[in-house]
Amino acid sequence: MSWIEELYNTYENCYGQEEIPSIDGKRAKKPLLPLFHKLQNSHIEIRIDGEGNFIDASLIESKNDQEIIIPCTEKSSSRTSGEEPHPLCDKIQYCAEDYTGNKKSYFISYSRQLEKWANSDFSHPMVKVISKYAKKGTLYTDIIGTGKQFGKPGDDLADLLVRWKVEIYGENETRCWKNRTLFKSWQLFSESQESVEDICMVTGYKKSIALNHPNRIRNSGDSARLISSNDKSGFTFLGRFKLNDVILNGKKEEIAVQSASISVEVSQKAHSALLWLIDRQSFRNGDQVIVSWAISGQETPDLLADSLSLFDETDEEKINEVTQLSYTDAGQTFARKLTKKIAGYKAELKDATKIVVMGLDSAGPGRLSIIYYRELSNSEFLERIEKWHAQMAWFFLEFFQDTTDKKKKHSGYMVIAPAPRTIAEACYGKRLDDKLKKSTVERLLPCIVDGRQVPIDLVDSAVKRASNKIGMEHWEWERTLSVACALYRCHSIRNSNNLTKKEYTMALETERTDRDYLYGRLLAVAEHIEEAALHIAKENRDTMASRLMQRFADYPYSTWRNIELSLKPYESRILAKWPGFLMNKRRLIDEIHTKFETGEYEKDTRLSGAYLLGYHCQRLDLSPKKSNNELEMETENNNL
C-alpha cells in the first residue's frame, strides 16, 4: 500500500497549489479534484434562471472547454454501464424525463438522487433550482425547441452530457462546474450518507471504506482500475478473503473489505493526485505511463528526458554551442552543465524529500498494473539521474532553426545523453511498433533509476544497425551511430565482470591499443581520404568504406585490405592537389598500425562495438570543426 499512501500524501501537500508550473514550465490542464468529484467531457450547456425557467441551450464545440469537474457518487465515478447516475451533470438519458430516443431512460434514479441532495441540510441554491427545473420534465423538448443542431439529423442525443449554468441573483459563479461552494456542498452531503466503516489500511484509522475505486486514470476513456475488489464470482479470492454482508440504502450487499480496506477519502485523493501528476509531468507511450514526482510537490528533473530537455537552454545557447564548441572539449562543457543543473535541484529539494517513480500499463481494458515502483531519497534520485546522463553522454548531430532567419538552420555536434525513446528507435528502427517501444523503455527504466547494467541485446542491436550505413538515411544513421556509441560506452563503464573497466572517453584516445578501437580509427581515416578525393572531383556518392562497413565489422582484416587497395586511385587524385594532406593521412594510418599488439592486426574475427567508438572519435577529430590553434597547425602541416 506504499504507493497509495505516497499519492495521498502528495495530494495533502499540493492541494491548493496545483497551479505551480510543471517541469517544462507548463501548467497542468487537470486540477487536483475535490473529494467526490471527477472530470467528465460535457457536450450541451443548459442556461436556466433563478426560478427554474429555461433560457437557452448551446452545443459546446471547443474541445478545450468540454472537460469539467462534476459531482459523482462512489459508484458513478467508476461506472462503465448500468444505472448509476451522477448527482448533477449527466447524459440526457438521465437528466431528461421527456427523452424519447432508442436508449433506456434513467431519469427516475437521477431525479431521486438530485432531490435528496436538494432537500438535505447540505443543499445549495443552484441544486434546488436545477432540481426544480428537472422535475418539470421538459429538458429534451426545450433543447430541441431551440432549433439548434446538436448532432447530425436523426442522431440520438442520449449520450450527450449536460452541464448547468444557473443565473441566480447574487451568485458570483453561475457555472456549476466552477462553483467552489457547490463542490463543498456535495462533499458534505456525501460524507453524511450511510457507509461501511472499517480500518483503513493506509491511515490506520476507522473510516468510511471505499467499495468502488475510480477509473479514467490515464485519460477520459480509460476504464482500467488500479484497485478492484468487487468481483464476487469465479476465482477472484481463491478462498483467501471473506465476503461480508452489509445493508446499504436498505439493500443487502456483499463487499470484500478484507482484500482492500481503503477509505473513500484516501482512495479519491490518491487517484486524484495520480491523475494530476500524469497530466502534469508523465512520460506516455500508448497505454504505458511513467511518472516521477516529489512527495512535497517540488520540481524534479524529468526522468526520461534527454540532456537537451534537462538543461532547458535557449535556442541561442544551443546554436552557440553547435557552432562554436570544439570537439577537443571532450564533454567538459557538458559535465559542467550537468553538475550545475543537478546542484540546482539539490538546493531546491530538501534532504528529507522523498522521490517516487511509478510505471503503469494495462494488458486489457479493465485492469491497470504497476509495472515499476521505486521510492528514493532526493540525493539518491539526483545522483542516479546525473550518473545516467554522464555515462550515456556522447556526441550527437543536432539541427536548430535560426531565430532571426527561418530559412537558415545551424547544425553541429553536441554532447548529450539520449532519451529512452530515441534509444528504442536506434535499436529497432524508427518504424518499431508500440509494444516493442514500451518494452524497451520499461527495460531501460531500472538502468536509469537503479543504476543497473544496460541490456547487452540492446547494445548489440544498436551496434549492428549503426554498421549498416547504406540501409538508412544520413540523419538516421548519424543518430543511430551516436546512440550505439553511448550504449556501448555506458555498458563498458557498468560492466562489473571487467576488473579493468574500460571507461572510454569522448575524446580520441591516440594511445589506446585495443584491436577493435584501432580498426575503427582506420575505417574513419580511409573514409576521410576517399571523401576528400570525391570533393575534388565534385562527386556525391557513398565511399567504399561506407559500403563495406557491415562486412568490415564482421571481417575487419580481409575487408581492410580491400578498402586500402581501393584507395590507390583516390590517393593519386589527392596527390596532385593536396600532397601535404595525403602525406599526413598516410602517416596517421601507419601510426595506427603500429599501435596493434602482436598478432591482433591479422585476426579476422568480428569487431565489438568499441570499433564504433574509435571510428566516431577519429571521424570527429578529422572534421574541420577545431579550435583556432589546431586549424593553424593543420594548415602548416598540409603545406609541408
The CA distance from 243 to 237, in Å, is 9
If you average pLDDT over residues 183-200, what whole number do you get? Answer: 85
Residues in the chain: 640
Q: Which of 587, 529, 509 is nearest to 328 (CA)?
A: 509
Backbone CA torsion sign across 152, 155, 159, 163: positive
How is residue 370 annotated by DSSP?
E
Question: For the segment 52-67, what is each residue's pLDDT rounded down to a tens digit?
Answer: 999 999 999 998 899 9
Query: Which of 54-63, 216-225, 393-402, 531-540 has maximum average pLDDT?
Result: 54-63
Q: Which of 452, 506, 504, 537 is nearest to 608 (CA)?
A: 504
Angle, vertex CA 619, rays to CA 618 and CA 623, nearest 5: 115
Q: Per-residue pLDDT for 608 more than 80?
A: yes
Encode burial over 367-403: b for 16+ CB neighbours within 10 A, e otherwise. ebeebbebebebebbbebbbbbbbbbbbbbbbebeee
Average pLDDT, the chain: 85
pLDDT of res. 628 = 37
The CA distance from 68 to 87, in Å, is 14
- What is the number of alpha carbons within 13 Å of residue 577 lying toward its C-beta? 11
The CA distance from 90 to 161, in Å, is 5
pTM for this one?
Answer: 0.82
The CA distance from 106 to 95, in Å, is 8
How is residue 162 annotated by DSSP?
E
The grid coordinates listed for 286 are 500508448
Backbone CA torsion sign across 227, 229, 231, 237: positive
- What is the number of alpha carbons within 13 Å of residue 141 lying toward its C-beta? 8
Confidence class of residue 460 from pLDDT cuts 50, 70 and 90? very high
Q: Per-residue pLDDT for 637 more than 80?
A: no
What type of residue is 6?
Answer: E
Question: For the segment 15-34, what is each residue's pLDDT rounded down to a tens digit?
Answer: 877 665 544 455 556 788 88
- Report the Cα–Cα distance between both ends of the chain, in Å, rounded: 74
pLDDT of res. 251 = 62
Return the residue matching grid coordinates 458513478: 76
> What secondary structure does DSSP assign to 62-73, as a single string?
-GGGTEEEEE--
The grid coordinates listed for 97 are 424525463
pLDDT of res. 71 = 94
pLDDT of res. 357 = 94
Please indicate whether residue 335 or residue 241 has the higher confidence score (pLDDT): 335
Residue 235 CB: number of other CB atoms within 10 A?
7
The grid coordinates listed for 493 are 563503464
The grid coordinates listed for 310 are 534537462
The CA distance from 355 to 92, in Å, is 44
Whole-Å CA distances, 79 to 43, 75, 223, 510, 531 = 19, 6, 9, 67, 66
pLDDT of res. 189 = 93
pLDDT of res. 390 = 93
pLDDT of res. 635 = 40
The CA distance from 638 to 257, in Å, is 83
Please indicate whether residue 236 or residue 380 has the higher confidence score (pLDDT): 380
Ramachandran area for residue 577 (φ above 0: left; ψ -120 to 50: alpha; else beta): alpha
Q: Which of 222, 225, 179, 182 is nearest to 74 (CA)?
A: 225
The CA distance from 183 to 178, in Å, is 8
pLDDT of res. 314 = 79
Q: Per-residue pLDDT for 436 more than 70?
A: yes
Contact 285, 419 (CB under 8 A): no
If you average pLDDT over residues 347-366, what whole number do you get? Answer: 81
The grid coordinates listed for 181 are 461552494
- How far, rounded to the nearest angstrom, does the alpha carbon of residue 286 sit from its chain's CA centroid? 10
E strand or H helix at 396: strand 394-401
Burial environment of residue 47 by CB neighbours within 10 A (0 to 12, 13 to 18, 19 or more):
middle
- From 75-79, 83-87, 256-260, the region with the lowest mean pLDDT: 256-260
The grid coordinates listed for 5 are 499512501
E strand or H helix at 430: none
The CA distance from 292 to 312, in Å, is 18
